[in-house]
A and B are shown apart, each in its own frame.
Chain A
Amino acid sequence: MKHLLSMDDLSLGEVQQLLSLADEMSEIQKRSQPKVPALRHKTVVSLFFEDSTRTRLSFETAAKRLSADTMTFSATSSSVNKGESLRDTVETLSAMGVDAFVVRHKTAGLPLAMTQWTNAHIVNAGDGAHQHPTQALLDAFTLTRALEMGNSLAGVRIAMVGDIRHSRVARSTVRAFVLLGAKVTLVAPASLLPPSLIYSNAAHTRHEWPVSVSHDLDEVLGDVDVVYLLRMQHERMNAAFISSVDEYALHFGLTAQRLARLPLHFKLMHPGPMNHGVEIGVDPALVPGSLITQQVTNGVSIRMAVLLSLLGPAASSETTKEERDV
Chain B
Amino acid sequence: MSNSKSVLIIGGTVVNASGEVLADVMIDQGVVQEVGPNISAKYAAENEGGPQRIDATSCVVTSAFVDLHTHLREPGREESETIETGSRAAALGGYGAVVAMPNTEPAQDSVAVVEFVRMQGERAGLVDVVPSACITVNRSGLQLSPFHSLAQNGVTLYTDDGNGVQDPVIMRRAMEYAKELNITLMQHCEVSRLTEGAVMHEGCCSSHLGLPGWPSIAEVLMLQRDLELMRETGAKMHFLHLSTARSVELVRQAKNEGLPVTAEVTPHHFSLTDEKLSGFNTVFKVNPPLRTMEDIEALRIGMQDGTIDAIATDHAPHAAHLKDQDLQAAPPGMLGLQSALGVAMKYSGCSVQRVIELMSWAPARIAGLTARQGNSVAPGNIANLVVFNPTAQWEQSLEQIVSKSQNTPYLGLPLQGQVQCVLRDGKVIVEAGVITK
B292: which of A86, A204, A207 is its contact (CB, 8 Å)?
A: A204
Report if A206 contacts B (CB, 8 A).
Answer: yes
Whether A130 contacts B196 in the complex (CB less than 8 A), given A205-B204, A207-B205, comes out as no
Interface positions of A from 64 to 114, Cβ below 8 Å from B: 77, 80-81, 85-88, 105-110, 112-113
Report if B83 contacts A (CB, 8 A).
Answer: no
Whether A107 contacts B327 in the complex (CB less than 8 A), given A112-B280, A195-B203, A204-B292, comes out as yes
Report if B123 contacts A (CB, 8 A).
Answer: no
- Chain B: which residue is nearest A193 at the CB level? B207
The segment from B84-92, B208-216, B376-384, B386-394 that touches chain A is: B208-216
A80 contacts which chain B residues (CB < 8 A)?
325
Report if B328 contacts A (CB, 8 A).
Answer: yes
Report if B360 contacts A (CB, 8 A).
Answer: no
B215 contacts which chain A residues (CB < 8 A)?
195
For residue B191, give the distance in angstroms from its CB to the closest CB of chain A.
14
Complex Cα gap A107–B329 (Å):
9
Q: Besides A88-B321, A109-B209, A195-B213, 10 other CB < 8 A contacts?
A: A106-B328, A107-B199, A110-B280, A113-B280, A113-B282, A171-B208, A195-B206, A205-B204, A206-B204, A207-B205
Q: How many residues of A contact B (CB 8 A)?
A: 38
Report if B326 contacts A (CB, 8 A).
Answer: yes
Q: Are A109 and B321 in contact (CB under 8 A)?
A: no
Q: Are B207 and A113 in contact (CB under 8 A)?
A: no
- Chain B: which residue is nearest A207 at the CB level? B208
Q: Are B209 and A239 in contact (CB under 8 A)?
A: no
Complex Cα gap A164–B282 (Å):
25
A117 contacts which chain B residues (CB < 8 A)?
324
Complex Cα gap A199–B294 (Å):
15
Q: Are A108 and B211 in contact (CB under 8 A)?
A: yes
Q: Are B210 and A131 in contact (CB under 8 A)?
A: yes
Whether A171 contacts B210 in the complex (CB less than 8 A), given A206-B204, A239-B196, comes out as yes
For residue A4, give the distance in angstroms from its CB to the closest CB of chain B.
16
Complex Cα gap A217–B134 (Å):
51
Whether A204 contacts B203 in the complex (CB less than 8 A), given A112-B280, A128-B210, A171-B208, comes out as yes
A168 contacts which chain B residues (CB < 8 A)?
210
- Flag B174-217 by CB within 8 Å of A: 1 or 0 each: 00000000000000000000001001001111111111110100
| Most-contacted residue by chain A among B203, B207, B211, B282 (CB, 10 A) | B207
A196: which of B204, B321, B326 is its contact (CB, 8 Å)?
A: B204
Whether A129 contacts B211 in the complex (CB less than 8 A), given A86-B326, A109-B327, comes out as yes
- List B residues at the A interface (Cβ < 8 Å): 196, 199, 202-213, 215, 275, 279-282, 292-294, 321-322, 324-329
User: Could you count the A-B residue pairs with CB atoms below 8 Å apart for me: how many are there?
Assistant: 97
8 pairs of residues in contact across A and B, judged by CB atoms under 8 Å: A107-B329, A108-B280, A109-B211, A110-B280, A129-B211, A194-B208, A196-B208, A207-B208
Complex Cα gap A128–B280 (Å):
12
B205 contacts which chain A residues (CB < 8 A)?
204, 206-207
Q: Are A85 and B203 in contact (CB under 8 A)?
A: no
Interface positions of A from 118 to 141, Cβ below 8 Å from B: 127-131
Complex Cα gap A217–B326 (Å):
36
The majority secondary structure among interface residues of chain B is loop
A197 contacts which chain B residues (CB < 8 A)?
207
Complex Cα gap A202–B282 (Å):
23
Q: Are B204 and A130 in contact (CB under 8 A)?
A: no
For residue A238, give the distance in angstroms from its CB to the closest CB of chain B.
10
A195 contacts which chain B residues (CB < 8 A)?
202-203, 206-207, 213, 215
Complex Cα gap A113–B293 (Å):
26
For residue B299, give the distance in angstroms from its CB to the closest CB of chain A.
17
Complex Cα gap A72–B275 (Å):
34
B324 contacts which chain A residues (CB < 8 A)?
85-87, 117
Complex Cα gap A108–B209 (Å):
7
B321 contacts which chain A residues (CB < 8 A)?
85, 87-88
B279 contacts which chain A residues (CB < 8 A)?
109, 112
Complex Cα gap A208–B204 (Å):
8
Complex Cα gap A81–B324 (Å):
11
Complex Cα gap A109–B321 (Å):
17
Q: Are A77 and B329 in contact (CB under 8 A)?
A: yes
Q: Are A77 and B211 in contact (CB under 8 A)?
A: no
Q: Are B326 and A110 in contact (CB under 8 A)?
A: yes
A127 contacts which chain B residues (CB < 8 A)?
210
Complex Cα gap A157–B207 (Å):
23
For residue B254, give the distance in angstroms from its CB to the closest CB of chain A.
22
Complex Cα gap A80–B328 (Å):
13
- Chain A: which residue is nearest B321 at the CB level? A85
A110 contacts which chain B residues (CB < 8 A)?
280, 326-327
Complex Cα gap A195–B209 (Å):
12
The 9 closest A-B pairs by CB, nearest first: A109-B280, A129-B210, A194-B207, A130-B210, A207-B208, A107-B326, A196-B207, A87-B324, A107-B328
Q: Are A202 and B208 in contact (CB under 8 A)?
A: no
A112 contacts which chain B residues (CB < 8 A)?
279-280
For residue B404, give the distance in angstroms from its CB to the closest CB of chain A.
17
A205 contacts which chain B residues (CB < 8 A)?
204
B326 contacts which chain A residues (CB < 8 A)?
77, 86, 105-107, 109-110, 113
B211: which of A128, A203, A208, A209 is its contact (CB, 8 Å)?
A: A128
| Most-contacted residue by chain B among A88, A204, A208 (CB, 10 A) | A204
- Chain B: which residue is nearest A110 at the CB level? B326
Complex Cα gap A113–B324 (Å):
9
- Flag A192-234 by CB within 8 Å of B: 1 or 0 each: 0011110100111111110000000000000000000000000
| Most-contacted residue by chain A among B206, B209, B293 (CB, 10 A) | B209
- Chain A: which residue is nearest B322 at the CB level? A85
Q: Are A108 and B207 in contact (CB under 8 A)?
A: no
Complex Cα gap A259–B206 (Å):
34
Complex Cα gap A293–B39 (Å):
89
For residue A61, give the distance in angstroms from its CB to the closest CB of chain B.
27
For residue B207, give the distance in angstroms from its CB to the closest CB of chain A.
3
Q: Are A81 and B329 in contact (CB under 8 A)?
A: yes
Complex Cα gap A206–B24 (Å):
52
Complex Cα gap A196–B327 (Å):
21
A202: which of B204, B212, B281, B329 is its contact (CB, 8 Å)?
A: B204
Complex Cα gap A222–B205 (Å):
33
A81 contacts which chain B residues (CB < 8 A)?
325, 329
